[in-house]
Amino acid sequence: MLNLREYQEKPKLLADYLPWACLPAPGVILNKDGSFQKTYRYRGPDLESATQAELVAVMARVNNVLRRFSSGWALFFEAARQEAHDYPHSDFDDPASWLVEQERRLRFEECGDQFESRYYLTLLWLPPADAKGRAEKALIERAEKHDAQGWRDRLDAFVSQCDRAYDLLSHALQEIAPLDDAETLTYLHDCVSTKRHSVTPPEIPVFLDSILADEDFSGGLEPMIGDHHLRTLTILGFPASTLPGILDDLNRQGFSYRWATRFIAMDKHEAEKVLTRQRRHWFAKRKNMGAIIREVMFNEQAALVDNDADNKAADADAALQELGSDLVSFGYVTTTVTVTSAGRADVDAQLRAAEQVISARGFTAIRESLNGVEAWLGSLPGHVYANVRQPVLHTLNLAHMTPLSSVWAGELTNRHLNAPALIQGHTHSTTPFRINLHVNDVGHTLVVGPTGAGKSVLLALIAMQWRRYPDAQVFIFDKGRSARAATLAMGGAHIDLGGASSPSLQPLRDVDSDSGATFAADWLAGLAVKEGVEMTPDKKEALWSAIQSLASADITERTLTGLVMLIQHDELKAALHPYTLEGAHGRLLDADHDDLALADTVCFEMEDLMGSTSAVAPVITYLFHRLEDRFNGRPTLIILDEAWLFLDDPLFASRLREWLKTLRKKNVAVIFATQSLSDIANSSIAPAVIESCPTRIFLPNERAVESQQSEIYERFGLNPRQIEIISQSTPQRDYYFQSSRGARVFEIGLGPVALAFCGASSPSDQKLMDELIEAGGDFASAFLTAKDLGWAAELLAQAPCVKSAPVMAAE
C-alpha cells in the first residue's frame, strides 16, 4: 500500500522554515507568503564623537522615517558582528617598506581576534490579502493580463516606497546603500550559515531557501547549526525611559553575534485599538472585584487601589496621546541577540556577556530554551511570524534601541586606488581601524598637533606604507630631518636644500620650450612682485622679450645672471638681482647646470633653506614645477611638513586652490602638516587648505579645550565632544582621524623596526646616519644593525621585492 506520509507538507529541512522564494527585481526578494523585502547596508553615528544634540537630531530624523510605515510593513534592523578580515597582502618595491609591513602584519595577528560590525536594514511589505494569490499564480501559471499587471504594480509600489525611505534615511545616517542581488544573497546566507563566502545569484533566481541553507540545523533546547552551537537572547522588559544608542556597548564586544530588532508596524487605527485595549485592561485591574462590589453597595470610594495597574493605565493613556499627536507611530518590537560558537562553554560565555550588557541598561532579557528555534527564526530578515514575544513600542523608542549607532572600522579598501587600505591601525576596543587618505578621488589631508605628539613618526609611517600601491612615488618636504632615515631606508634620495650639499638649480634651463618659457615668465613675475614691483604691461613685455632672447643662448648660459643682462628695464633688473650670483640667493637659483635628481622617493630637507625666508617661495615653486613632470597618473604622495612656514606666501596663496584641484586630477595626494595652531589661525591659505582637505588627523593636545585653541579646532568642523577627545588622548600613542565618512581614535602600534626607521630624528640618530653614509653600503641593513636589530637586518634579504634596495650613495 502506498505510504502517503512522505508526501505530506510537513517541514523537514531548514529550507522549509526560511521565507525566501525568488528575486523578481534587482535587490528585491519575493517571500513565500507573497511579501516583498529589500535590504540596505547602513552606518549610523558614532556615539564617541557625537554630541547629545547631534544624536537627538539624528534620532528625530530616523523617527520621522519610521513613523511613516503602517500596517503590512515590517522592518528588520541588524548589527552583524563578525571577525575582522585578515591583514591584507600588498607588494612593496623596497625591502625596508616590506619589512615594516611584515612586522605590522605580525603585530596585527598577535593582537588576537578582532571584530567589526556591519549594519543592515530590511524593509518588508505584505500586499493586501487579495494580491497574495495573484502573486503565487503569476509564478506558476500564465496569469491573466490584469492579474499580472496588478502584481507588478504592487512590486513597483514597494520599490517606490523603499526608494522614498532610502532618500529620507540618507539625510539621517552616515552611510546607507541598497544591496544588489549578490550582496543580498550573501547577507541572507550569513544569517543562516556559519560559512562565510559570497553567493552568486543563479541564472534563474528561484528556490532561494534551498540555495542559502547549506548546513544542517537541529533544534531542541540547545539548537545547533552545522557543528556550531546556537543560542538566542530575547529582550522582554524595558527601562522606564530610553536614550539614543542605549545598547551601543554591544558594538564593542569581542565575539561574533547577530543583534536583530524586528518592528512590525501598525497604522494609526490599529495602534489605537491595541493601546485602548491595554488601557482598559490595566484600568480594570486597579480594583479587585470585592472593592468594586463594596463601592456599588455602600456608595463609597475604595480606599486602596493597585498603584502599579494605575500607573500602567496612565502610561497607556500617555501613549494614546502621543499617537494622536502624530509625532510617533507604534508597532510590535522583538529584539534578539544570537551567538554561535563551536564550543558549548564559549557560546554560553558569550551569551552571558551580551546579557550583562543588556541588563546593565535596565532591560530584562531571557535566554531562550524551549522557544530557542522560534526566537532564532524570528530574527531572520523576512520572518514575521516566528517568536510571538512582541511588546508594543513607539518609533522613537525603536530608534533608541536599534543598532543605529556604530563603531567605525574604516574602509577595507581604498576605492579610488582599488587597493588595500593605507594603514591597519588599532583602537581601544576589539574593533580594528583602517586608515585611508582618500575621500572619493581626493586624498589631500591635514595633520595638526603640537610638538612632541607623534606627528613626524606618523608622516614617516604614511610614506613607507604608501609604497604598497603599485608604481607609487613619495615626495617629502621635511623640517628637522625627521624623515631622513625612512627615506634612505626606502632607497630614496635625501636632498638638503640650503645646506652645504644643496643641489645646483637652473630654473631657466628649459626656456627654449613653450612650457618652460611660460613657467619662467610666471615665476620671474612672481619674484618681481615679491620684491615690490607692480607688473605693468610694459614690464611684462620687457620680461618676455628677455626670456625669448635667452632661449636662443647656449643651455649653460640660461641663468638668472644672463637674463638680468638681457632685461631692458631697470626696476626689473633691481628686483631680480638678489637671485643672481651677485645677490643673497644666487647660490641656490643661479647655477649654469641643474643636478637635481628625482627618484620614486625623495625627501627635501627645508630647515636650512627656511633660514633664508625670501628664498623659500622661489625655490619651492621651482621644485613643484620640476615635480609636475612626474605627475603622470601614478599614485603620488606629497608630504609638506610645517607647510605654513613656506606656503603662506603671495606666490602660493592666490593659486593654491587651483593647484590642489590640478593635483587631484593627476592622482596626487598632498598632506599638510603643522604643529603650530597659531600658524593656521593667522594664515592666508588656511581657508583653501581646510576646504580642500576632506581628511584630517589631529594629534593629542591637552590645551585643545582652551577657548583660543578650541576656536581654531572648530574651524575644522570639530564639535565640542571631538575637541574633548583630542584633549584627553595620549601623546605619541593616540591619533584622531576625521573625515566626511567618519571619525575614530586610533593607534598605529609601531614595532621596533618601524620605530627605528620612522622615529630616528635625534642628533645622535643624525650623527649615526652621517657615519653610515660615509661608510657606504646598504643603508637599511646597516642602520638596523647599528640599532641592535641585527635579526631584522638579516630578514631584509628575504624581501620578495620587484626592485632591490640600491647601494647607498652619499646624499
Per residue in 75-110, pLDDT (tens digit) is: 999 999 998 888 899 999 899 999 999 999 999 988
Which H/E stretch holds residue 263? strand 257-265
- Cα(256)–Cα(80) distance, rounded to whole angstroms? 8
Q: What is the mean pLDDT of residues 307-319?
A: 68
Lowest-pLDDT choice from 60-64, 269-273, 343-347, 760-764: 269-273
Residue 149, SS3 per DSSP: helix
Q: What is the mean pLDDT of residues 746-758?
A: 94
Say whether pLDDT at 790 is over 70: yes
Say whether pLDDT at 423 is over 70: yes
- Cα(747)–Cα(211) distance, rounded to whole angstroms? 42
| Predicted local distance difference test score (pLDDT) of residue 674 | 87
Per residue in 653-698, pLDDT (tens digit) is: 667 777 888 899 999 999 999 887 777 767 777 788 888 899 999 9
| Predicted local distance difference test score (pLDDT) of residue 802 | 44
Instruction: Name residue 330's beta-bridge partners.
Output: 394
Cβ-based burial of 24 (10 A; exposed 0-12, middle 13-18, buried ≥19): middle
Task: Assign a CATH topology to domain 24-267+329-401.
Answer: Vanillyl-alcohol Oxidase; Chain A, domain 3 (3.40.462)
Backbone angles phi, psi at 637, to 5 degrees: -120, 130
Task: Assign a CATH topology to domain 419-503+596-763.
Answer: Rossmann fold (3.40.50)
Asked if 616 and 530 count as a contact pair (C-beta separation under 8 A), the reply is: no
Most confident of 402-406, 711-715, 797-801: 402-406
Q: Which residues contact 217 (CB under 8 A, 6 or more apart)?
A: 14, 192, 223, 224, 225
Q: What pTM does this model have?
A: 0.88
Lowest-pLDDT choice from 109-113, 253-257, 328-332, 590-594: 109-113
Say whether pLDDT at 9 is over 80: no
- Cα(111)–Cα(254) distance, rounded to whole angstroms? 12
> What single-letter amino acid sits at 654?
S
- Cα(180)–Cα(162) distance, rounded to whole angstroms? 14
Q: At 753, is the pLDDT very low, low, confident or very high (cuts 50, 70, 90)?
A: very high
Helix-strand-coil split of the chain, %, nearest 5 = 45, 20, 40
Burial track 422-459 (b if 16+ CB lie within 10 A, e otherwise):
bbbbbbebbbbbbbbbbbeebbbbbbbbbeebbbbbbb
Q: What is the mean pLDDT of residues 737-764?
A: 93
- Cα(242)–Cα(244) distance, rounded to whole angstroms? 7
Closest CA to 100 of 563, 443, 367, 457: 457
Q: At 585, is the pLDDT very low, low, confident or very high (cuts 50, 70, 90)?
A: confident
Domain extent listing, the chain = 24-267+329-401, 273-324, 419-503+596-763, 504-594
| Predicted local distance difference test score (pLDDT) of residue 806 | 44
Say whether pLDDT at 736 is over 90: yes
Burial track 486-506 (b if 16+ CB lie within 10 A, e otherwise):
bbbbbbbbbbbbbeeebbebb
**Residues of the chain with pLDDT > 90: what percent?**
55
| Predicted local distance difference test score (pLDDT) of residue 1 | 41
Q: Which three cell numbers stand for residue 729?
A: 588622548
- Work out the mean pLDDT of the chain and round it to a whole number: 87
Q: At 149, is the pLDDT very low, low, confident or very high (cuts 50, 70, 90)?
A: low
Could you tell me where the DSSP H helices lie in 67-199? Answer: 95-110, 129-140, 145-170, 181-192
Asked if 375 and 258 count as a contact pair (C-beta separation under 8 A), the reply is: no
Say whether pLDDT at 532 is over 50: yes
**Residues of the chain with pLDDT > 70: what percent?**
88
Q: Which three cell numbers stand for residue 10?
A: 510537513
- Cα(736)–Cα(660) distance, rounded to whole angstroms? 24
DSSP label of 400: H
Say whether pLDDT at 402 is over 60: yes
Closest CA to 261 of 131, 144, 172, 390: 390
Q: Which three cell numbers stand for residue 739?
A: 573625515
Per residue in 434-459, pLDDT (tens digit) is: 999 999 999 999 999 888 888 999 99
Q: Which three cell numbers stand for residue 518?
A: 611660460
The whole-angstrom distance between residue 632's C-alpha and the CA centroid of its chain comes to 28
Say whether pLDDT at 412 is over 70: yes
Closest CA to 493 of 272, 809, 164: 809
Which H/E stretch holds residue 121? strand 115-125
Q: At 805, is the pLDDT very low, low, confident or very high (cuts 50, 70, 90)?
A: very low
| Predicted local distance difference test score (pLDDT) of residue 315 | 72
The secondary structure of 646-710 as a DSSP string is HH-SHHHHTTHHHHHHHHHHTTEEEEEEES-HHHHHT-SSHHHHHHH--EEEE---TTTTSHHHH
Q: At 11, is the pLDDT very low, low, confident or very high (cuts 50, 70, 90)?
A: low
- Cα(274)–Cα(320) distance, rounded to whole angstroms? 10
Residue linked to cell 574633548? 724
More confident residue, 273 or 157: 157
Instruction: Name residue 394's beta-bridge partners.
Output: 330
Residue linked to cell 601623546? 731
Lowest-pLDDT choice from 172-186, 288-302, 414-428, 669-683: 288-302
Per residue in 178-195, pLDDT (tens digit) is: 999 999 999 999 999 999
Output the CA torsion sign for 266, 270, 271, 274.
negative
| Predicted local distance difference test score (pLDDT) of residue 596 | 86
| Predicted local distance difference test score (pLDDT) of residue 282 | 65
Closest CA to 550 of 568, 527, 575, 526: 568
DSSP label of 777: B
- Cα(390)–Cα(408) distance, rounded to whole angstroms? 31
